[in-house]
Homo-oligomer: A and B are copies of this chain.
Amino acid sequence: MQTVSGRRGTLPASPAKPKPKRKGPGRPEGASGVRETILDAAECLFANLGYAGTTLREVSDQARVTQALINYYFGSKYGLFEEVFLRRGVAVSEERLRNLEAVRQAGTASVGDIVRAFLLPTAALRTSEQGRHFLRLQARLHTEPPHISYALRDKAYGVSTERYVEALQEAMPHLSALQAHWRITLMVGTYLYAFSDSHRMEERVPEGQYQADDCQSLIEQVTGFVVGGISAAPQNLA
């Protein structure tokens, strides 16, 4: 589709623009990329303002397109939201499954192996601005009303999370099914919060000790906590 033939010589009344970014209506040459631009803008805004708090006009402004174009591409506001979330959500889920498969084939998986296999795909997202937007969006999705969140969460993460419960039961055979579910659930709650920047440690920790962009330290803190929590003795209530 990338016919890179030169522009047509006859330019009606517009001045000669060497700029490849043509503005205005009309079918663009090749892929315009505007679709991804809209998704990026929406990802940022949905993450910061929530589903109801985001307006399509804000999205269109930030993406520098007209608002009608969003409905043209995604049909509706919810259609946009769906695609924003699933575009990264399914990728994360698939990577988790691949990671789990890898540690399983390498022998008996320890709790640490399982936790790292689960956390690494999302931890990697923290290295980019857009990735952090998605992580905030994801944390937010879990608090959105069911009719907005349930179907999406299930579609993206339903299967892979179930596999991790099974793997944990193999690693800790003395855990009941209910306990295994609980610990995976608590892991999810912990990392959602820790990776979403919705906490405010920056303001509470003595000067300069906390580096918000210290990704390595973040992963270690969270992994240590989660492994400790999952590995705790089942009736550890001293």
Contact = CB atoms under 8 A, between A and B. Distances in A.
A182 B228 contact: no
A140 interface: yes
Give the bracket for the number of chain A residues in contact with chain B.
35 or more
A3 B167 CA distance: 60
A53 to B, nearest CB: 3
A193 B139 CA distance: 10
Given A150-B200, A237-B112, A237-B217, A189 B188 contact: no
Contact of A227 (B112, B140, B210, B232): B232
Question: DSSP class of A's interface residues: helix, strand, loop or mixed?
Answer: helix
Interface stretch (A12-20, A44-52, A59-67, A93-101): A44-52
Interface of A: 48-53, 110, 112, 136, 139-140, 142-145, 150, 153-154, 161-162, 165, 177-179, 181-183, 185-186, 188-190, 192-194, 196, 198-201, 204-206, 209-210, 217, 220-238
